[in-house]
Structure formats: structure tokens, C-alpha cells
């Protein structure tokens, strides 16, 4: 274990609700943050969650392993043999711990197979029991976010699987935010009866979190603009007609945008009155202050870890970050990939 102090940097490269915010001043800079490396030499830790005892649990995209962290000790819990890598962004992705984990030792997983992406319930050591299947897959644009919402339902984020038509097709599960119960049935209040689809028009949505009861999801743009979207039932977020903010009737604009080079937004979490967004392309974390329903100026923090993918508030009050330097676009150091704990 090691400890050091790190500094944050900020720049006017993000746009909040269409307006470029001024550069943060030194007094806004969350410098001198305590940091501990909890685990090293991992293989693309994609999603981090927590067990009832406070231990961390995470997926590895390409090894298809589910692992546990207790203190700084990493143990293997399971390998999902049914998961397949896609040679790009697919594999073992999102993770959500069963609400009844103490009695059923189960988690929910989002993963790629030979034919699709899907969500399954998995009793650790057992065989995945699929609950949502037929999510389009391809080498890239597989989405993969999976979280429990404050409404008690599971929410999943999906990609268009490199077929832009999927995003606008209500009958396709690609390019969507999905909402369903623990058996895979559509959640009450979804915009279309009998459908798990909650919102459409997404290119490659990934992380999802909530401010109160309002969902926010990150999304990879194409060659210009990455997004943070406020997710509402039945809304159309524009892809492929729009990338970033545009003025088209019936389409919903993002609440924050970044140039592609500065973001590649992945995991997102609410922590200490701010949204923290992992940025793989930008090799940083974006901190967005939250004041009620107002989002403040995004600030670039944690710029020394390379590609940051997973972001997760821990039960002990710290924030955990997972790097993604072992993927095809990374430049791994001798200890990558890592999971790091910080006081934010």
C-alpha cells in the first residue's frame, strides 16, 4: 500500500447546458487528496460495486472474472464462461449486487455472448440465468452499464452495436436505456407497455447514476462530442441525427458535453455533492459540482492514472477508481490496471 498527494487541474473544455464555463480558480481545485492503491496488475476492471460486508466486487472485461477486494487482498469469486470478448469493447461488463445477496450469494451481470449482449442473474459459482437477451452486439458500441435505481428497478445502458438505425428503433434494445425488474420484466411506468426500453437515441451509453430520483447517463460521441444526459422516460437523445447539442424538434439535448479528446465518458457516480465521470480518452476524471438540480463547472481531476473507467462511492466514505490502461488504447505501466481509493 502506498499513499501520496495528488493535484487536480481544470480547463474550460466542457460545456454545461450549452455554455462554456470559466476555468476553475485555485480555491476550487480539490488538490492534496489522499489516495491509496488497493489493487494492482488487474485486467481492465470494468465495473466496481460493493457487498453487504463493505468489500469491493468488480468485473474484469477480458478475463471474464468476478473478483473481490477486502482491504488490499484480491480474491477470485467466479469466471463467467459464457461471456465472450469481441476484440473491442465487449466482454464481462456491468455488475449489480443482488438486493438479497446475504441469502442468495447472487449478482446481476451485463455481458457479451457469441450472439448478443445480455443481462443475467448469477449465483456465484453457478450458471448465469439470463433475464434480458437480444441486446445487439458488435466489436464496439456494446454499452454495458448496469445499476439499481432508487426506484428499486435495474437500469442498463446499451450501445447501437455500430448500427445507427438501432438507436431510433423502439423494437431494438440497442442504443437505449433499459429499465426492468429482477426477473427481466418491464418496469412499471416505462413509456411503452411490455417494453424494457426507457429512452432511445443513444450511440454508446455507458455509466448511469442518480441525483435524487433523476437518472444521468454518460455517452460516447462519434468524432466530435461526448455527452452527459439527463434520462427521462420516452425521451429521444438524438443519435444519429445529433451528436452533442442541436436544435431539432423532438430531440433532447445533453446537459454537459465535452470534445471527444477530453472525455470518452464511462463510469459515473454521485459522491460528496458532485458527479464524478471516468474519462478513458481524456485520461482523467471529470468532477461536476451538484447544487440541487444545478450542475456546476466540470473540473478535471485525477489526471495521473491514465484511462479511468470505473467510478464507485464506497461504504467507508471514499471514492474508488478503476483504470483501463490494459485495453487496446492504453499505455499500461508496471502496476496497471489498478483500483485506487481516494477521499475525493
How many domains is the chain built from? 1
Above 80 in pLDDT, residue 9? no
Task: Give the tens place of pLDDT for each residue, 48-72.
Answer: 999 999 999 999 999 999 999 999 9
CATH number at residue 226: 2.120.10.30
Q: Report the 3 state secondary structure along the chain.
A: CCEEEECCCCCCCCEECCEECCCCCHHHCCCCEEEEEEECCCCCEEEEEECCCCCEEEEECCCCEEEEEECCEEEEEEECCCCCCCCCCCCEEEEEECCCHHHHCEEEEEEECCCCEEEEEEECCCCCEEEEEEECCCCCCCCCCEEECCCCCEEEECECCCCCHHHHCCCCCCCCEEEECCCCCECCCCCCCCCCEEEECCCEEEEEEEECCEEEEEECCCCCEEEEEEECCCCECCCCCCCCCCCCCCCCCCCEEEEHHHCCEEEEEECCCEEEEEECCCCEEEEEEEECCEECCCEEECCCCCCEEEEEECCCCCEEEEECCCCCCCCCCCCCCCEEEECC
Mean pLDDT of the chain: 92
Domain range for 83 is 3-342
| Confidence band, pLDDT 50/70/90 cuts, at residue 140 | very high
Task: Give the tens place of pLDDT for each residue, 324-335.
Answer: 999 999 999 999
| Confidence band, pLDDT 50/70/90 cuts, at residue 14 | low
Above 70 in pLDDT, residue 2? no
**How confident is the model over 164-187, as a mean pLDDT?**
98
Amino acid at each position: 500500500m502506498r499513499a501520496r498527494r495528488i493535484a487536480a487541474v481544470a480547463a474550460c473544455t466542457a460545456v454545461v447546458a450549452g455554455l462554456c464555463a470559466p476555468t476553475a480558480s485555485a480555491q476550487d481545485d480539490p488538490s492534496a487528496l489522499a489516495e491509496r492503491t488497493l489493487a494492482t496488475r488487474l485486467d481492465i476492471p470494468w465495473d466496481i460495486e460493493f457487498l453487504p460486508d463493505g468489500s469491493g466486487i468488480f468485473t474484469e472485461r477480458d478475463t471474464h472474472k468476478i473478483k473481490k477486494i477486502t482491504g488490499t487482498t484480491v480474491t477470485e469469486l467466479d469466471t463467467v464462461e459464457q461471456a465472450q470478448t469481441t476484440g473491442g469493447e465487449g466482454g464481462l461488463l456491468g455488475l449489480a449486487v443482488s438486493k438479497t445477496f446475504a441469502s442468495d450469494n447472487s449478482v446481476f451481470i451485463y455481458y457479451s455472448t457469441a450472439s448478443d449482449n445480455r443481462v443475467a442473474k448469477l449465483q456465484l459459482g453457478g450458471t448465469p440465468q439470463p433475464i434480458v437477451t437480444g441486446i445487439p452486439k458488435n466489436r464496439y458500441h456494446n454499452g454495458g452499464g448496469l445499476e439499481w435505481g432508487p426506484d428499486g428497478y435495474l437500469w442498463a445502458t446499451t450501445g447501437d452495436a455500430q448500427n445507427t438505425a438501432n438507436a431510433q428503433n423502439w423494437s431494438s434494445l440497442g442504443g437505449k436505456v433499459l429499465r426492468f425488474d429482477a426477473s427481466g420484466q418491464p418496469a412499471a411506468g416505462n413509456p411503452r407497455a411490455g417494453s424494457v426500453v426507457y429512452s432511445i437515441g443513444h450511440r454508446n451509453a455507458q455509466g448511469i447514476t442518480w441525483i435524487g430520483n433523476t437518472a444521468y447517463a454518460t455517452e460516447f460521441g462519434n468524432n466530435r462530442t461526448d455527452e452527459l444526459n439527463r434520462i427521462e422516460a420516452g425521451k429521444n437523445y438524438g443519435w444519429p441525427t445529433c451528436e452533442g447539442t442541436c436544435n431539432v424538434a423532438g430531440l433532447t439535448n445533453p446537459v454537459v458535453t465535452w470534445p471527444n479528446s477530453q472525455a470518452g465518458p464511462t463510469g459515473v457516480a454521485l459522491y460528496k455533492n458532485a458527479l464524478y465521470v471516468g474519462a478513458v480518452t481524456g485520461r482523467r476524471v471529470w468532477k461536476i459540482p451538484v447544487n440541487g438540480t444545478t450542475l456546476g463547472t466540470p473540473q478535471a481531476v485525477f489526471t495521473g492514472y491514465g484511462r479511468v473507467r470505473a467510478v464507485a462511492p464506497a461504504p467507508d466514505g471514499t471514492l474508488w477508481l478503476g483504470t483501463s490502461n490494459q485495453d487496446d488504447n492504453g499505455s499500461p505501466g508496471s502496476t496497471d490496471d489498478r483500483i485506487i481509493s481516494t477521499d475525493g
